[in-house]
Amino acid sequence: EDKVVQSPLSLVVHEGDTVTLNCSYEVTNFRSLLWYKQEKKAPTFLFMLTSSGIEKKSGRLSSILDKKELFSILNITATQTGDSAIYLCAVDPGSSNTGKLIFGQGTTLQVKP
Amino acid sequence: DTAVSQTPKYLVTQMGNDKSIKCEQNLGHDTMYWYKQDSKKFLKIMFSYNNKELIINETVPNRFSPKSPDKAHLNLHINSLELGDSAVYFCASRLAGSQYFGPGTRLLVL
């Protein structure tokens, strides 16, 4: 069965810290891996990764994929209280062109002032 | 504004009632989805439509029936609501691999 596992499940840090969130997956096929940030409402899209070893970067956030070891990490440097959210990892198993995403259980990040 | 929108945002109802949630996207996307997010924040896909055609139908009770009158709309009708249906329901639409989510409908069944 296709599966996505995130770790840690929750994390508390102080402003200015750097955090690394992990996402590992087991799927029969693989098309892409996506990261989302969910604050109080809808998940908002952060990154889509399809190739190993190519870092995607947006401000203080960056992410990379390892298709050999079947995982991805999301890094946040110089964290701010506004980074507090649930971070969701999802994989498109690509077995059909439906775009079906399999989500991990999320990592809840709390950044304290 | 270009977006995925859902109505209502909140829905409180009694067990046994029938209710509908509406979703609209003006992004021009062909594929739309319904997800359920439970109390542990786990997001699970329920249905997907591509150009008004059902393409994903996960193991969901048949009390849930999606309807897509056109490719910009995907509504969700739920019959005979049960306590376990309480959750946040998200609509999403897809372009080029990434999905864009609506604000969610928080359903509470009493």
- pLDDT: which is higher, A86 or B56: A86
Gyration radius from chain A CA atoms: 14
| pLDDT confidence of residue A28 | 83
- pLDDT: which is higher, B53 or B96: B53
Residue A21: its H or E element: strand A19-26
| pLDDT confidence of residue B98 | 85
Q: B7: which residues sit within 8 A by CB, 6+ positions away?
A: B21, B22, B105
Tell if the CB–CB gap between B41 and A32 is shorter than 8 Å.
Answer: no
CATH code for the domain in which residue A50 is found: 2.60.40.10
Instruction: Tell me the chain B residues in contact with residue A92 when contact means C-beta distances shorter than 8 Å.
Output: 97
User: Cα-Cα-Cα-Cα dihedral of B47, B12, B106, A12, to 10°?
Assistant: -140
| pLDDT confidence of residue A97 | 67
pLDDT of B3-14, one tens digit each? 899 999 999 999
| pLDDT confidence of residue A50 | 92
User: Please, what is the average pLDDT of chain A?
Assistant: 93
Host domain of residue A29: 3-112
Residue B64 tokens read as: 């849930």
| pLDDT confidence of residue A100 | 84
Please determine, for residue B1, whether its predicted confidence score (pLDDT) is greater than 80: no
pLDDT of B61-104, one tens digit each? 889 999 999 989 999 999 999 999 999 999 999 887 788 999 99
Q: How confident is the model at residue B30 (pLDDT cuts 50, 70, 90)?
A: confident
pLDDT values of chain A reduced to their tens digit, one per residue, 113 residues: 889 999 999 999 999 999 999 999 998 888 899 999 999 888 999 999 999 989 999 999 999 999 999 999 999 999 999 999 999 999 988 766 677 889 999 999 999 99
Best B41, B50, B54 member to test A by mutation, with max A CBs in 10 Å, is B41
pLDDT of B35-52, one tens digit each? 999 888 889 999 988 888
Identify whether the C-beta of residue B46 lies closer than 8 Å to the C-beta of residue B36: yes
What single letter denotes the amino acid at residue A32? S
How far apart are the C-alpha atoms of A84 and B67, rounded to whole Å?
Answer: 36
Half-sphere exposure of A27 (CA within 13 A, CB side): 25
Interface of B with A in 51-110 (CB under 8 A): 55-56, 90, 94, 97-104
User: Cα-Cα-Cα-Cα dihedral of B12, B72, B77, B107, to 10°?
Assistant: -20
Domain count for chain A, please give it: 1
What domains does chain B contain, in order, with CATH numbers? Answer: 4-109 (2.60.40.10)
Nearest to A86 by CA among B55, B85, B101: B101
| pLDDT confidence of residue B52 | 81
Distance from CA of A78 to the nearest CA of B (A): 26
Q: How far is CA B62 from CA A104, B30, B77, in A?
A: 25, 24, 10
| pLDDT confidence of residue B83 | 95
